[in-house]
Structure 1
Amino acid sequence: MNNNVVSSIFTRFFLYQSAGLSLLIVSLIHSTMVIAQEAPLQSPPKRLNVLMIAIDDQNDWIEPLGGHPLVKTPHLKALAERGTVFLNAHCQAPLCNPSRTSLLLGLRSTTTGIYGLSPWFRDVPALSGRLTLPQAFHKAGYTTLTTGKIFHGGGGKPKDRLKEFDEWGPAGGVGKRPEKRLIQPPPHPNPLVDWGAFPHLDSEKGDTQITDWAIEKLQQRQIQQSSSTGETKPFLMCVGYFLPHVPCYVTPEWLAMYPDDDSILPLINEEDRKDTPRFSWYLHWRLPEPRLKWLQQYEHWRSLVRSYLASTSYVDAQIGRLLAALEATGEANNTLIVLWSDHGWHLGEKGITGKNTLWERSTRVPLLFAGPGVLTGGKCVEPVELLDIYPTLAQLCQLEAPTDLEGVSLVPQLTNPLAVRQRPAITSHNQGNHAIRTRDHRYIRYADGSEELYDHRVDPHELKNLADDPALSALKKQLKSLLPSIDQPPVPGSKDRVLTFDQKTHRAIWEGEIIELSSPIPE
């Protein structure tokens, strides 16, 4: 044998027998050469897809939240049962543009200064280059798709939209309209403020069309995967439903799901506004959404509630179609689903309809997660915010996100719904007006210093304002300390539902109109 070979690697085998055992001892005599067997290469873990579902103006009247005893939303109920539902989730602003801007940028409206339906945030110099949640997914190698209403106002100018998402589907919206209004115009008319049933097809509705597009994209991806030799990129698909935003137009079949009697009406107190500050009216001073008195006078209240519930059930059916299509692709087990609404909606509570308030009916929203890493059947009662969605998805999907996100990841609660959060949910409507929601209380402070306080343990409908109770002064002081430390004025170009307050003159200004202390509250 060649001595060089012997010196390069030499292995001796000794067979040693003891106590009936045979031991094989391998002794490596030389270390100048190592023979190693490489472990087989392992594929990196498959990245999560994300299906984000948004519902416009959807309050807590869905089965998982129990906001209305007669509502029928079987698909949302099933989704909540296969994931975790947040029972105390709240928007950061009770209006479409500031709420959606906050969620997608990860900043409060009190930080951005966006409070009204305008401007588009890209037109604000300080925000023009801000990395949105969809852009963070794109930057991480995701294909991003959207259809329906995700950004308020459609996502900027058409030429700029590909900077926000890779693919844009139909805008959705109302779809087919009746030949004329179904209800008489309210005192401050707007073409959108209408509701009821008329003969048409679900296929003619905008929300059906966006669902069709999303399903088609999922099916195309399935075909692409089956015919491709390489891996397809993970996706972020955002589907934004318009209903139950007004006009709440439904087919007669959907309306027939709900009884035409007073059993469907929400609980109200006709004297409810007697213990709320006058300033609370300023937040919804003159709006197209009618007051409860008008609805009662012209017998439109029941039809509005029925139409809203029917619209909610119709959207639930579209979501069911979408989730069934996802399941059929075989990708459901690798897709994280998050569902939210931008804010709630009053249907007579506190004497009004619409949003634009700091009460529970306007701030409480659906927020559901389901999919890999999410506890099945979880229910979390901790106060959480839509603002938390951005950091949650950034953590779960390993995104490079801005370092100044103002929300906090919900991952601890997605695995353990009992995990405690040491922060409240905060909602703001224009500068100086804020609501603090903890597990047990809601504290509201308006720009003029007036206050409201509700104990949700005994008053879930917020019918008794406790702000003047001297025994609760310490609690009020504690809740007041949680108000936002940043409270920016409206950015230039702000309009539509913008309220300002002059601390020197003690005057409120609603959309350019000075509100005097003697001004009658609009009917």
Structure 2
Amino acid sequence: MKQQFLKIFVLSLVFTLSGICKTTAQKNLKTKKPNILFIAVDDLRPELNFYGANHIKSPNLDKLASESLVFNRAYCNIPVCGASRASLLSGMRPTRHRFIDHKTELDVDVPGVVSFPKLLKQNGYTTISNGKVYHHNNDDSLAWNSIWFPKGDTRDYQLEKNIKQNTAPNSRGEAFELAEVDDNAYFDGKIAQKGIDDLRQLKEGKQPFFLALGFMKPHLPFNAPKKYWDLYDRSNIELPESYVQPETTPKEAFHNFGELRNYGNVPKFGDISEDLAKELIHGYYACVSYVDTQIGLVLDELKRLELEDDTIVILWGDHGWNLGDHKLWCKHVTFEKALRTPLIIKVPGKTSGQQTNAITEYIDIYPSLAELVGLNAPETVEGQSFVPVINGETPDKDWGVSKFKDMVTLIKGDLFYTEWTKDDGVAYARMLFDHKTDPLELDNLAEKPEYQETVSHLAEELRAKWGKDFLNK
């Protein structure tokens, strides 16, 4: 009888301890902060299926969007890579003297500021930077447990003619190439594989992780394996409807797209020929499909490793890009095509393909991610969290501000108002577009008598919202 009682007691104790261990494990799982997979794509326009386009083949981005919240009106705060990335990762606005161009370094412009990856690292995250996250690989180096970038020339040519031309003095290869190579020949294939390897190691770790993957394409030159070019028939590619520069638009709004002119097969001055323009667009599409495949490989591995339910995934392009819009190429302007960006965020248990028309600035990303992982953003952060939008609430913000050099733009509802200002804030040119009636931005309303009261109000609001440090040295 005593033996039977002892046996029952031991079994009961085992079950009790097992239950306690299971409860403790569940509690630990719930209290562990979520991981973040942070995907940056260089020069990616929101010309994708989930934004209403239907001609670019990007099935992996489409699938991610179907599981995410899609921001239909996300805008970078400055349309140039170095400055945009420093602004986004610090949560701070560009000013006339801060975050200026592609050479921008966060460590130089705002030394000592707590960037988002640094905030995470200070709070127990393993932080990894792969590829082009900041423009300079060693920028904000204290924020990362490791920084990795593929070896080789960043233009990443594979064809001998381009390699030879690119290594000649003061010369570059062509603006695009299609090569019979596998995906891992180019940088983005290598970046995807490094991300996959990191996920496998992070799976075994006890710390939450922030894995940043900065993909290089579709940045110039438009180099991609031939199979991605073969997805498109160039005879079906058309020039944009806005392939014109109206006389009412200030001449300051247009530039010579020197970034593209640097390449060997592009004329130094004048319009791009129609054939070359279509070839460039073809190359851009091929690069989007190529990077889409690489991102898909990473997302598939995240799922295979059963990390999907514990990981926030955010994907963004650093700014928009002109593909002949207003007869312009590249970025470096404040037309909507250069400012509007793709932004999608997947939050396990909260997103499932919703879309929002809330105007969102890139400085809003830092405080939003911080809130999602239960951290307080530092006082230097100027953005506003969009977590209420994720939770289905109506945002109380309906505006954004972007700038480039002398140009500064207020986005307010359907209105895009731009001023070219001097150091003292006085405007010397301006333009206003109403996207409700003029989505292509071809009719500048700023100088029309009937819009002067509107312009006056927008000018006042622009100055109230461009940031307290905007004019400071």
| Shorter-chain TM band | 0.7 to 0.9
For 1:255-294, list aligned pairs within 5 A: 255-270=229-244, 272-281=245-254, 284=255, 287-290=258-261, 294=270
Task: For residue 198 of structure 1, report the CA deviation from its aligned partner.
Answer: 2.4
Q: Indicate conservation of the 8 Å contact 1:170/1:209, yes or no.
A: no
Of 314-323 and 169-178, deviating more is 169-178
Partners of 2:222 and 2:369 in 1: CA distance: 32
Give the alignment's TM-score, normalised by structure 2.
0.85
Mark the runs of 5 or more structure 1 residues left unpaired by the alignment: 1-37, 226-231, 492-523
Of 291-300 and 127-136, deviating more is 291-300
Q: Does the alignment pair 1:336 with 2:312? A: yes
Equivalent residues, number: 431
Partners of 1:249 and 1:407 in 2: CA distance: 35
Post-superposition Cα deviations, 1:63-105, rounded to whole Å, max 9, x if no partner, equal: 2223x44111111111111110000000010101111110011
1:451 corresponds to: 430
Task: For residue 435 of structure 1, report the CA deviation from its aligned partner.
Answer: 1.2
Q: Indicate conservation of the 8 Å contact 1:146/1:169, yes or no.
A: yes
For 1:182-201, list aligned pairs within 5 A: 191=172, 194-201=175-182
Q: 1:273 to 1:207 in 2, by over 3 A?
A: same
1:404 corresponds to: 380
SS at 2:410's partner residue?
strand
Task: For residue 392 of structure 1, report the CA deviation from its aligned partner.
Answer: 0.2
Partners of 2:176 and 2:192 in 1: CA distance: 22
Task: For residue 298 of structure 1, report the CA deviation from its aligned partner.
Answer: 7.3
2:343 corresponds to: 367
1:10 corresponds to: none
Task: For residue 111 of structure 1, report the CA deviation from its aligned partner.
Answer: 7.2
Q: Indicate conservation of the 8 Å contact 2:246/2:443, yes or no.
A: no
1:520 corresponds to: none
Q: Indicate conservation of the 8 Å contact 2:175/2:221, yes or no.
A: yes
2:453 corresponds to: 474
Q: Does the alignment pair 1:243 with 2:224? A: no
Q: Indicate conservation of the 8 Å contact 2:228/2:290, yes or no.
A: yes
2:299 corresponds to: 323
2:89 corresponds to: 104
Post-superposition Cα deviations, 1:263-295, rounded to whole Å, max 9, x if no partner, equal: 34322343x2312112223xx357232499856
1:429 corresponds to: 404
SS at 1:481's partner residue?
helix
Match of 2:357 among 381, 385, 390: 381
Q: 1:155 to 1:490 in 2, by over 3 A?
A: farther
Match of 1:252 among 226, 233, 246: 226
Task: For residue 485 of structure 1, report the CA deviation from its aligned partner.
Answer: 4.2
Counterpart of 2:35 in structure 1: which amino acid? N
Match of 1:211 among 186, 192, 196: 192
Task: For residue 426 of structure 1, report the CA deviation from its aligned partner.
Answer: 1.1
Give the alignment's TM-score, normalised by structure 1.
0.77
Partners of 2:321 and 2:450 in 1: CA distance: 32
Match of 1:62 among 48, 51, 56: 48
Counterpart of 1:120 in structure 2: which amino acid? E
Of 311-320 and 454-463, deviating more is 454-463
Q: Indicate conservation of the 8 Å contact 2:72/2:355, yes or no.
A: yes
Q: Indicate conservation of the 8 Å contact 2:365/2:385, yes or no.
A: yes
2:7 corresponds to: none
Mark the runs of 5 or more structure 2 residues left unpaired by the alignment: 1-19, 422-426
Partners of 1:286 and 1:220 in 2: CA distance: 43
SS at 1:274's partner residue?
coil
Of 237-246 and 76-85, deviating more is 76-85
Match of 1:94 among 65, 79, 83: 79
2:117 corresponds to: 134
Q: Indicate conservation of the 8 Å contact 1:113/1:490, yes or no.
A: no
Partners of 1:89 and 1:192 in 2: CA distance: 33
1:11 corresponds to: none
Percent identity (aligned):
28
Post-superposition Cα deviations, 1:490-514, rounded to whole Å, max 9, x if no partner, equal: 97xxxxxxxxxxxxxxxxxxxxxxx
